[in-house]
Amino acid sequence: MAQSAGKFTFHFDADHNVWECLGEKETGASVFTLPAGAKVSRDAALPAMCEEICRSGIESDKPISLTLGPIMVYGGRGKGKPAPLPAGDYRLRLFVLDPTSNRTGQRVFDVQVAADAVHSGVGRYSFEPLRAKFLRLVCHGNSENDWNSIIEIELPALDRKTVKASAAVKNCEAAKAVDGDSKTRWAARGDGAWLQFALKPDVPMDHVDVVWFGGDKRQYRVEFLTSNDGREWSELTVKPQCPASARQTDRVDIFQRAGGANRVVELSYPVTLSAPGAVQLMLTPVKGKALLCGAVLELTGQP
């Protein structure tokens, strides 16, 4: 979690896992490192790499806020915005170790985990299961203006090779809504502008995920049409799903949970994203400083 500064600093543990390292520059928290001779202990159920990872960490007497996502989602030089996490069930594992306390109550902090699809600008639109050859999104502007703009369309039946639009502004062509790049988008102005996709007719679908440009600040108006010949279209009855943040809070006294200093504690939290989005972690000090040595976010199931 914390070693050298820099977005592209990594650590390879003894089990060949890759860890992205965040320090003071990236988190605003101080870095602590155990003396070379300090002994670290753990429960037998925890992997051996915990002893290695928890020899250093970040700590602060102010709240520590982190957005969790895949390593290396920013592109070759760290430019652009991170891609949203896919919808699904996750397990967040936090590894902590108290290097200084000698009794309970000296280092207490609140752990808040939030699964948030709203703030990612992603909307999930659900409907009865069906098969079709074409999907068309007819857009009617947004709550602020008459612009229509989509960063990415995500659905299992999508054929990314065939996409077209009624209109598009320069450098925001239709194909950029399915290129997998969070830095590009389709954009067109005016009521009724549409974006059309070919589908795999043998693959059923029951929802469409739309990553709207600026969707965390404005609400877009859209209709969904399907067709089997590209001429006759039927409108879908859709139910938008933009769930509010699912939050959970846990108060942690590390010494109490560990039973001593320099002993690794694992904190585990289930997280569900009903639509692509982000997992936010907030560590808020209650007594002493909040700290963190390592974090692992694992996908445990698809929705």
Place of tokens 């972690």: 281
Asked if pLDDT for residue 16 goes beyond 80, the answer is no
Interacting residues of 29 by C-beta distance below 8 A, sequence separation 6+ = 2, 58, 59, 60, 62, 64
Domain boundaries along the sequence of the chain: 10-117+245-301, 120-241
For 211-215, what is the mean pLDDT?
A: 88
Asked if pLDDT for residue 302 goes beyond 80, the answer is no
Residue-wise pLDDT for 80-125, tens only, equals 455 678 888 899 999 999 998 999 999 999 998 987 654 456 778 8
What does the pLDDT read at residue 78?
Answer: 47
Whether the full predicted model's pTM is greater than 0.85, yes or no, is no
What is the spatial distance between Cα 152 and Cα 117, in angstroms, rounded to a whole number?
Answer: 15
Residue-wise pLDDT for 237-265, tens only, equals 988 665 445 678 899 999 999 988 889 99
Amino acid (1-letter code) at residue 187: A
Could you tell me which of 183, 184, 193 has the C-alpha nearest to residue 221?
Answer: 193
* DSSP code at position 120: G
The three-class DSSP label of residue 175 is: helix
Share of the chain above pLDDT 70, in %: 84
What is the spatial distance between Cα 291 and Cα 96, in angstroms, rounded to a whole number?
Answer: 7
What are the tokens at 29? 């928290």
Phi, psi of 135 (to 5 degrees): -130, 135
What are the tokens at 35? 């003396």
For 47-71, what is the mean pLDDT?
A: 87
Q: What is the mean pLDDT of the chain?
A: 85
What does the pLDDT read at residue 79?
Answer: 46
Asked if pLDDT for residue 70 goes beyond 60, the answer is yes
Asked if pLDDT for residue 186 goes beyond 90, the answer is yes
- What CATH number is given for 10-117+245-301 in this structure? 2.60.120.260
